Amino acid sequence: MVIPLYYQNVVIGAVQKNILHFLKEDCKDVFIVLDTHILVNPNIGSRELFFLIKEVASILHKKYNIIPPLRGENLSVFPLNRVSEILSTENDANTILQSSGLFEIDRNATSPFGIVTFGVMLNCFTRSKDGSLSMWIAQRSLKKPIHQYPGKLDPIIGGAVEAGVSPRQALIKEAWEECSMPKYLAEKAVYKGFVSYLMRQYGGIKFQILFCYDLDLSRTEMPFWKPQFNDNSIENFFLLSAQEVADRLRYTDDFKGGSNLIKIDFLIRNNIIQKNEIFYEKIKKSLRNLLLPFHESSQQFKIVSAAEIQEINF
């Protein structure tokens, strides 16, 4: 059971009841905890709030061991009622997310407050003469801390959309940092919509929306391009057939959560996962979950309706 979190009269997130005692005892100058909802102190400005929430997150980490240390990646906080607007088109996402949000928050401090975050991921693939697809896959470094999923499989490019940055800018930045992909090649990636998911994380709810991009190398002037190491975040790169990717998704937990949804979406759009697949419609629908479970019987805090979201062409 979660209750909504308000800032400046708009819902920005959702807090689980198991951390309400912490907010009441340790953060009463920042949060006003009521029976049905929580208010961020309206007398606190956005810049001051950024530093105060950093202090709150530090207590959550050091005193309660609820979250890992702060990452130093600052994300913009947007009202939940703007999600449908952000997701209308790629241009809307780029324009809105590049603008100022209500305030900024460290990436690792978002889950306890159920704040929606945005990320980008790229499906980089090749197409053979017979039409079969092969996908470039990255294995995360085995030296990553446990909460960063060491050894799990990922798209070769992915990352958070930080404050003041558009999804397209984030994609180009991550492309060079993670696999040495040049800017002119990353710019050829085609926007393919989004996937979203909710999961329990760090004593709260991780609510993430991932913008999906495809890059068909066989249709570029660099069809034989290969990813190269550019930092210590990647253990290895693999070129796997789309069918092997599908099999690993079916029968193993090799892929990191979130990344698996990006791959499932790609496989559906390219008819590798077909309509005769068990639970096909349920899987397809669940890729775009845009509701938070504030109250089972209430529609008051519905974020968006399916009709408000641009139809995705599968």
- The residue extents of the domains of the chain are 2-289
The answer on pLDDT for 97 being more than 60 is yes
Return the pLDDT at 292. 57
Whether residue 293 is predicted with pLDDT greater than 90 in this model: the reply is no
Per residue in 181-190, pLDDT (tens digit) is 999 999 999 9
Mean pLDDT of 283-288: 87
Q: pLDDT tens digits for 5-48?
A: 999 999 999 998 888 888 888 898 999 999 889 999 999 999 99
What integer pLDDT is reported at residue 291 of this predicted model? 62
CATH superfamily of 2-289: Nucleoside Triphosphate Pyrophosphohydrolase (3.90.79.10)
Residues 210-232: tens digit of each pLDDT: 999 999 999 999 999 999 999 88
Top-confidence residue, 39 or 202: 39
Query: Which tens digits make up the pLDDT trace of 43-95?
Result: 999 999 999 999 999 998 998 888 889 989 999 999 999 998 999 999 999 99
- Mean pLDDT in residue range 237-254: 95
Beta bridge partners of 6: 11, 39
Q: pLDDT digit string (tens) for 120-153?
A: 999 999 999 999 999 999 999 999 988 889 999 9
